[in-house]
């Protein structure tokens, strides 16, 4: 399937000068949504224990991928949303700065982990999540995205295999 036609550019969102990749047309089409979930799952070739996905757009497919791969689902959330003991990391992304948190008991030492998000842009977000997973002793198998904005060089920040359906 040509997923590109379900992702639209929105100029100057959320800040002037940013070309925002909007995946809501993909989510709104039943066939495209299902095909995208299937493709994202098929990018993983080894058994894994956990899919770690990033609030909020990583959650749309993260849970489905976990189910398809027979793995548990772990949410990484913006500060103040997770109720139990957390580890946290401050990070910068293409258009801002924030804090991400993960539950301290979400990953056991040695568990095999796939990280999923919708977009890899500057890589600040994904790198921060890699750090959280590493701190808990997880073994990162790969980072898996719907699309990579190659011109923002996010790949250079990530030292694990990167897989995606689309590159811009
Ligand atoms: O590679 P980076 O430059 O770090 O940017 C990528 C991140 O930016 C977006 O999330 P955002 O923080 O906008 O939150 P949202 O998913 O809640 O919309 C996107 O979903 C990624 O998580
Ligand atoms: N240009 C962009 N479009 C959508 N999500 C993003 N996250 C960071 N940069 C983005």
Residue 69 C-alpha to ligand 2 middle, in angstroms?
27
Indicate the pLDDT class of residue 157, thresholds 50, 70 and 90.
very high
Q: What's the pLDDT at 127?
A: 97
Tens of pLDDT along 74-85? 999 999 999 999
Our answer on whether the CB atom of 111 is closer than 6 Å to any ligand 1 atom is no
> Based on the structure, what is the number of domains in the chain?
1
Indicate the pLDDT class of residue 142, thresholds 50, 70 and 90.
very high
Residue 23 lies in a domain: no
Query: If DSSP codes are grouped into helix, strand and coil, which group holds residue 88?
Result: strand
Contact 111, 91 (CB under 8 A): no
Residue 155 C-alpha to ligand 1 middle, in angstroms?
15
Residue 93 lies in a domain: yes
Q: What's the pLDDT at 164?
A: 98
Residue 137 lies in a domain: yes
Tens of pLDDT along 87-129? 999 999 989 999 999 999 999 999 999 999 999 999 999 999 9
For residue 52, give the H/E element and its range.
Answer: strand 50-54
Q: What's the pLDDT at 129?
A: 98
Q: What's the pLDDT at 161?
A: 98
Q: What's the pLDDT at 131?
A: 98
Residue 118 C-alpha to ligand 1 middle, in angstroms?
8
Indicate the pLDDT class of residue 69, thresholds 50, 70 and 90.
very high
Q: Phi/psi of residue 94, each to 5°? A: -55, -35
Rounded CA gap, 90 and 148, in Å? 22
Percent with pLDDT over 70 in the chain: 100
Residue 151 lies in a domain: yes
CATH code: domain of residue 73? 3.40.50.2020
What is the Cα 14 distance to its own chain's centre? 19
Residue 156 lies in a domain: yes
Contact 21, 149 (CB under 8 A): yes
Contact 156, 123 (CB under 8 A): yes
Residue 144 lies in a domain: yes
Structure tokens at 46: 């080894």
Active site residue 77: no
Query: DSSP class of residue 49?
Result: S
Q: What's the pLDDT at 145?
A: 98
Our answer on whether the CB atom of 20 is closer than 6 Å to any ligand 2 atom is yes
Q: Phi/psi of residue 25, each to 5°? A: -60, -35
Residue 2 lies in a domain: no
59-68 and 30-42 helices, crossing angle to 10°? 60
Rounded CA gap, 160 and 49, in Å? 17
Percent with pLDDT over 90 in the chain: 98
Our answer on whether the CB atom of 146 is closer than 6 Å to any ligand 2 atom is no
Rounded CA gap, 150 and 67, in Å? 29
Residue 127 lies in a domain: yes
Q: Could you tell me the residue range of the domain that residue 118 belongs to?
A: 46-167
Name the residue among 86, 66, 70 with its Cα closest to residue 132.
86
Our answer on whether the CB atom of 23 is closer than 6 Å to any ligand 1 atom is no
Parallel, antiparallel, or unpaired for β 139-148 and 96-103? unpaired
Active site residue 94: yes
> Which residue has its alpha carbon closest to ligand 1 atom 21?
119
């Amino acid at each position: 399937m040509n997923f590109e036609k379900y992702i639209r550019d929105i100029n100057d969102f959320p800040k002037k000068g940013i070309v925002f990749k909007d995946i809501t047309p993909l989510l709104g089409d039943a066939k495209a949504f299902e095909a995208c979930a299937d493709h994202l799952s098929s990018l993983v070739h080894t058994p894994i224990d956990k899919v770690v996905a990033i609030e909020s757009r990583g959650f749309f497919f993260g849970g489905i991928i976990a189910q398809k791969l027979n793995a548990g689902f772990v949410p990484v959330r913006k500060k103040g949303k997770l109720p139990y003991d957390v580890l946290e990391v401050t990070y910068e992304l293409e258009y801002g700065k924030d804090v991400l948190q993960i539950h301290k008991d979400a990953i056991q030492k040695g568990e095999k982990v796939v990280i999923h998000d919708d977009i890899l842009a500057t890589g600040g977000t994904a790198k921060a999540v890699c750090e959280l997973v590493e701190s808990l002793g997880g073994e990162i198998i790969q980072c898996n995205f719907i699309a990579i904005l190659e011109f923002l060089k996010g790949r250079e920040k990530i030292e694990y295999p990167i897989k995606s359906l689309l590159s811009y």
